[in-house]
A and B are shown apart, each in its own frame.
Chain A
Amino acid sequence: DAGVIQSPRHEVTEMGQEVTLRCKPISGHNSLFWYRQTMMRGLELLIYFNNNVPIDDSGMPEDRFSAKMPNASFSTLKIQPSEPRDSAVYFCASSSGTVYGYTFGSGTRLTVV
Chain B
Amino acid sequence: QKEVEQDPGPLSVPEGAIVSLNCTYSNSAFQYFMWYRQYSRKGPELLMYTYSSGNKEDGRFTAQVDKSSKYISLFIRDSQPSDSATYLCAMWNRDDKIIFGKGTRLHILP
Contacts and interface: CB of A to CB of B under 8 A. Distances in A.
A43 B88 contact: yes
Interface in A1-57: 4, 33, 41-43, 45, 48, 56
A25 B92 CA distance: 21
B43 A42 contact: no
A106 B98 CA distance: 19
Contacts of B45: 104
A101 B46 contact: yes
Interface in B55-105: 88, 90, 92, 97-98, 100-103
Contacts of A41: 102
B46 A43 contact: no
Contacts of A43: 44, 88, 100, 102-103
Interface string A81-113: 000000000010100000111111111010000
Contacts of B51: 99
Contacts of B42: 106-107
